[in-house]
Amino acid sequence: MAQCSGNELMKEECENHEKCMKMIQAVLDGSATPDEIEHFKNNIEVCKPCVDGYELEKSIKESLKTKVSKVCCPQKTIEQLKVKIGIGLLLILGLVIKIKVIQEIFI
Amino acid sequence: MEFEEEEEELIESKPKYSEAEKYRIFDKEFMPHVDSMYNFAFRLTNDEDDANDLMQDTFMKAFRFINSFQEGTNSKAWLFRILKNSFINDYRKKSKEPSKVDYQEVETVYNSTEDAEYESTTDLRIEAVQDMIGDEVAMALNGLPVDFRTVIILCDIEGFTYEEMAKILDIPIGTVRSRLHRARNLLKEKLRSYAKSMGYKELR
Ligand SMILES: [Zn+2]
CATH code at position B145: 1.10.10.10
**Of A21, A31, A80, which is closest to B162 when you measure between CB atoms?**
A31
B204 is a domain residue: no
> B74 with B10, same domain?
yes
CB contacts, 8 Å: B177 with chain A: 22, 25-26
Domain boundary among B58, B91, B124: B91
Expressed as residue numbers, the domain containing B157 is: 103-197
Ligand 1 center–CA B192 separation, angstroms: 22
pTM: 0.79
B53 is a domain residue: yes
CA gap B155, A30 in Å, rounded: 10
DSSP codes joined into one string, B168-180: HHTS-HHHHHHHH
Distance of CA A57 to CAs A49, A51, B69, B85, B124, Å? 12, 10, 36, 29, 11
The interface predicted TM-score (ipTM) is 0.77
Task: Pick the residue of A25, A31, A36, A93 with the most B CBs within 10 A to test the interface with B by mutation.
Answer: A31
B15 is a domain residue: yes
Would you write out chain B's pLDDT as a tens digit for each of its 204 residues?
444 445 545 555 566 899 889 999 999 999 999 999 999 999 999 899 999 999 999 999 999 999 999 998 999 999 999 999 999 988 776 655 544 444 444 555 454 444 444 444 457 888 888 888 888 899 999 999 999 999 999 999 999 999 999 999 999 999 999 999 999 999 999 998 888 887 744 433
Q: CB–CB of A50/A7 below 8 Å?
A: no
> B141 with B191, same domain?
yes
State the count of interchain CB pairs (< 8 A) between A and B. Answer: 109
Question: DSSP class of residue A6?
Answer: S
Interface residue B24 vs chain A (CB under 8 A): no
CA gap B134, B137 in Å, rounded: 5
Decide if B56 and A84 are in contact by the 8 Å CB cutoff.
yes
- Indicate the domain borders of chain A: 2-67, 72-107
Question: DSSP class of residue A67?
Answer: T
B98 is a domain residue: no
B114 is a domain residue: yes
Q: CB–CB of B99/B148 below 8 Å?
A: no
Phi-psi domain of B74 (left: phi exceeds 0; alpha: psi -120 through 50; beta: other): beta
Decide if A63 and B52 are in contact by the 8 Å CB cutoff.
no
∠ CA B187-B160-B110, nearest 5°, is 30
Q: How many domains is chain B built from?
A: 2
B202 is a domain residue: no
Interface residue B163 vs chain A (CB under 8 A): yes
